[in-house]
Amino acid sequence: MKKILAMLMVIIIMSTVMMGCSKKETENEGVDQTPSETNDQDGDALDKPLEKEEVTLTFFHHMSEEAKRLGIEKLAAAFSERNPEVTFDIQAMDFGQYASTLKTKIAADDAPDIMFGRPKGYSDLVQAGHIMELSGNDYINHMQDSALPALTVDGGVYGIVLDVTAMGTFYNKDIFAAHGLEVPTTFDELMHIAKTLDAAGITAFSRGYKDAWTAQVEHNAFNHGEMFGLYPNWMQEITEGTKKFSDYPEFTSTLQAWADTLPYSNDDIFGTDYSKSIELFATGQAAMFSQGMWALGEIRKIAPDINIGFMAPPATNQADLVKLSAFGDDGFMMSASTKHPEYVNAFFDFVLSSEGATIWSDTAGQVSFMKDSGVTYTDPAILEFISYIEEGKTVGQEDGPFLAGQMDATYREYQELFAAKGDKEVESFVSDLDAEFDAIRD
């Protein structure tokens, strides 16, 4: 009898233990994935869903290129497929109004969860506590080390970047070849090209200054390679007031070089918008187009097979100073006030996975800034850009402090103003710019 009772007790105990284990396993089914479980460069961990509450992430950006907008939509859709409880409210704003609108949203306690931009250019927002620091997340290590300077403010990393880009000049290889022209290495050679094409009745440069920001980009393409190559901290010196624009002879000379090319443009550059300027180049109506590498996707959408390259436009006759200004382009930041930091972190981890990099590169036509992205490039314009990087012919315009706040806004306004001025008195223009910055410092 005692043996029977003992056996019954063992059975009861075993049953209790098994029930407890079963209950624990049941309770753990569907437990939400924590952000730390999503840090996987291949994105495999993201196959597990996060919390099941309905979540909407707002994404505010200023990308005007349709290829990039489609790229963002595809990234968002791929993430939502893995996490069906997440939807995205993607909002776009014109570049010229983006910064002021973003600051208005933040002031109104309506900050988007994800903001487009690189922290170095929004250091005032970072220092005011509006941007979340991301330094402790593993996905930061998925990016190339050279991407980090543009994302770092006061020693902390406050954003991610998807791709590396440069401001330079696209050129039509077939038009060049037909007129015996080669990639210029000096400013005199560039002007020879412009004059040769003009004499043949061909528009040298496609320009669309109706969208005024495009004038900023073209000036930067002519200016930044030389200026940042010679003076890596020139913008910091301008900001601090230890130097003025007029203290740099190259600032004036590169501005003059840009001005000298303006007559060799399409008709009515101030009535032509960005989209039309892309079309003029993509359809062979102009031989060159100074823009960021980000325009490649739009060019290819119009003319998939056009034979084009990408070069640094020389603004000097010292060939060794002719370089591309390369930097991380499409960057994302997280609002410090977001209610869903775990989802934003998971999304950032996804876009910096191999799958995310492939989606972005294939759709937007950009060069990934990831380590071992697994993306293969075949576009000749991209390959030429990569050759500049490999040959050390680039400078990092955001490796040091950058203009921010009112100084940044004023500088951009003056770039646009110079393009619109009928009287291109460069030295007096630079003097006026100095005076504006003196007033800001006061």
CATH code of 241's domain: 3.40.190.10
Q: Which of 288, 302, 298, 273 is nearest to 214 (CA)?
A: 273
Note whether 75 and 175 are same-domain residues.
no
Average pLDDT for runs of 10 along the chain of length 442 = 38 40 37 41 50 89 91 97 97 91 96 95 94 96 88 95 94 99 99 99 98 96 96 94 98 97 97 98 98 93 97 98 90 97 98 94 89 86 93 82 88 94 88 97 88
Note whether 94 and 156 are same-domain residues.
yes
Note whether 313 and 352 are same-domain residues.
no
Q: Which amino acid is at 351?
A: V
Note whether 43 and 146 are same-domain residues.
yes
Is residue 176 a part of any domain in this protein? yes
User: Can you tell me which residue has the tokens 């591309």?
Assistant: 324
Please give the Cα distance from 72 to 98 (Å, whole number): 17
Is residue 60 a part of any domain in this protein? yes
Please give the Cα distance from 324 to 327 (Å, whole number): 10
What domain range is 315 assigned to?
Answer: 165-326+397-441
Is residue 17 a part of any domain in this protein? no
Please give the Cα distance from 117 to 114 (Å, whole number): 10
Note whether 135 and 69 are same-domain residues.
yes
Which token pair is 291? 């823009």
> Structural domain tally of the chain?
2
* Residues 237 and 312 sit within 8 Å (Cβ to Cβ): no
Note whether 205 and 232 are same-domain residues.
yes
Partner residues linked to 201 by β-bridges: none
The rounded Cα 272 to chain-centroid distance in angstroms is 24
Q: Which of 404, 415, 416 is nearest to 440 (CA)?
A: 404
Instruction: Say what angle helices 354-364 and 66-82 make with each other, to 10 degrees.
Output: 150
Cα separations in angstroms, 197 against 171, 219, 222, 308: 12, 22, 20, 16
Is residue 1 a part of any domain in this protein? no
Note whether 148 and 79 are same-domain residues.
yes
* pTM summary value: 0.76
Note whether 143 and 235 are same-domain residues.
no
Please give the Cα distance from 441 to 105 (Å, whole number): 26
Which token pair is 82? 């893995």
Is residue 22 a part of any domain in this protein? no
* Residues 222 and 166 sit within 8 Å (Cβ to Cβ): no
Note whether 282 and 404 are same-domain residues.
yes
Please give the Cα distance from 218 to 213 (Å, whole number): 9
Confidence (pLDDT) at 69: 94
Q: Which of 54, 44, 32 is nearest to 349 (CA)?
A: 44
Q: How many CB atoms lie within 10 A of CB 104?
A: 11
Please give the Cα distance from 413 to 432 (Å, whole number): 12
Is residue 42 a part of any domain in this protein? yes
Note whether 109 and 197 are same-domain residues.
no
Note whether 271 and 344 are same-domain residues.
no
Contacts of 286 by beta carbon, 8 Å cutoff, 6+ apart: 172, 202, 203, 204, 205, 206, 266, 280
Cα-based torsion angle of the residue sequence 183, 252, 221, 413 in order, rounded to the nearest 10 degrees = -150
Is residue 20 a part of any domain in this protein? no
Note whether 116 and 210 are same-domain residues.
no
Confidence (pLDDT) at 95: 86
Confidence (pLDDT) at 39: 44
Confidence (pLDDT) at 21: 42
Strand ranges in 93-197 using DSSP code E only, listed in sequence order: 114-116, 152-153, 156-157, 160-161, 163-172
Is residue 250 a part of any domain in this protein? yes
